[in-house]
Amino acid sequence: MRLALDAMGGDHAPAATVEGALSFARAHAEHQVILVGDERRLRPSLPAGKPLPPNVALRHASEVVAMDEHASQAIRQKPDSSMRVCFELCRVGTADAIVSAGNSGAVMAGALLVLGRLPGVERPAFGALLPTLKGEGHCLLIDAGANVEVRASQLAQFAVMGDAYVRCVLGVAAPRVGVLSNGEEEAKGTELTREALALLKASPLGIVGYVEGKDIFSGEVDLVATDGFTGNIVLKTSEGTAMAVAGLIRSAIDKSGLSEKLGALLMKPTFAGLKKVVDYAEYGGAPLLGVDGTVVVAHGRSNAKAIHNALKVAAQQARSPMLAELKAAMARAQTWLPAKRSKARKGP
């Protein structure tokens, strides 16, 4: 796969993006990375005097979309920004996928402007892979933050898109799909969740019904659908809790006696494995689903390892039949989804 990397995106760019790209390219000779960014600013991070690995290319882009810039304005007014160029490379077929740790609002705006939505998709959404307790499993949370206020039909579409992702990329034959709510009984939830659940129950998806916050991690569902406001809060709460638990272990060890300190030393490999899971928010790459291309958003704080992993996720996704399957799934969903509201119709 040919992966366009927004080398200027993220808090630690371009040092972290270049290092992550080189490490990925060395480990995966079968893939190519196109480093997109300001050549003069990328150079200092590249290996001095040595040629680039054969599967890494440099593509100059003179502008940068800043992390705090107005998303859609930036993407429109900076046609030669590293992010926008990534999207263009994908649109013309030079790249198979895009990875960016930059302004996620701008990624969404760029994807909509340059790649466009897939037919039938009202709102593209971010997916986030959360670790589950059972084995090496994952649960896809969608929407993880793109759409703050949504309609029931849009929430149902998130489930359709997530279902295609889980089948094609995670290889789950028959995903179990839940709608996030404040209790399992059907009387729970908001008007939005109740309406979305009713729609989904009439769909061919493997709907298990409402699930609660704790079920995301239990491994009993493969996919949890929610609005982007709640999804963002789930993601950040989970990140905060994991950090708090890790911090509490650390401070307990600091305060503990000699034998416990020795114990902690002996357990170092265990904690290293744990850290990897705790850090999922930084090490995963969130797919943007519903646009006509493979787009993966890495955490803004991404280090080289996180970029490496996001490239891996993007390659896996681009190689899978996900995009075609998502299109087919959206076409099939038109039989049970309510007709899209006409644009002429005034608000609710």
Contacting positions for a copy of itself (CB under 8 A): 131-133, 145, 148-149, 180-183, 188-191, 212-218, 228-230, 232-249, 252-253, 256, 259-260, 262-267, 269-270, 273-274, 277-278
Which is closer to a copy of itself, CB of 232 or CB of 309? 232
Residues 10 and 298: beta-carbon distance below 8 Å? yes
Which is closer to a copy of itself, CB of 34 or CB of 288? 288
Burial call 39-67: b when 16+ CB within 10 Å, e when fewer: eebbeebbeeeeeebebbbbbebebbbeb
Residue in 69, 94, 140, 85 with CA at minimum distance from that of residue 2: 94
Rounded least distance, CB 83 to a copy of itself, Å: 20
Rounded least distance, CB 246 to a copy of itself, Å: 8
Within 13 A of 205's CA, how many CA atoms are on the CB side? 40
Rounded least distance, CB 306 to a copy of itself, Å: 17
Rounded least distance, CB 186 to a copy of itself, Å: 13
Which is closer to a copy of itself, CB of 252 or CB of 331? 252
What is the layout of strands, in order, in the sheet containing 97-100? Answer: 56-60, 32-37, 2-6, 97-100, 294-298, 285-289, 125-131, 138-142, 223-225, 176-180, 206-211
Which is closer to a copy of itself, CB of 52 or CB of 170? 170
Rounded least distance, CB 138 to a copy of itself, Å: 12
Rounded least distance, CB 152 to a copy of itself, Å: 15
Residues 6+ positions from 103 with CB-CB distance below 8 Å: 9, 65, 66, 67, 68, 69, 71, 74, 83
Helix (H) or strand (E) holding 219: none
Which is closer to a copy of itself, CB of 147 or CB of 320? 147
Which is closer to a copy of itself, CB of 217 or CB of 336? 217
Question: What does residue 95 show for φ and ψ, rounded to 5 degrees?
Answer: -125, 150
Rounded least distance, CB 20 to a copy of itself, Å: 24
For residue 149, what is the DSSP state?
A: S
3-state secondary structure of 127: strand
Pairwise CA distance, residues 132 & 138, whole Å: 5
Which is closer to a copy of itself, CB of 248 or CB of 328? 248
Which is closer to a copy of itself, CB of 30 or CB of 191? 191
Rounded least distance, CB 249 to a copy of itself, Å: 6
For residue 49, what is the DSSP state?
A: T
Residues 120 and 339: beta-carbon distance below 8 Å? no
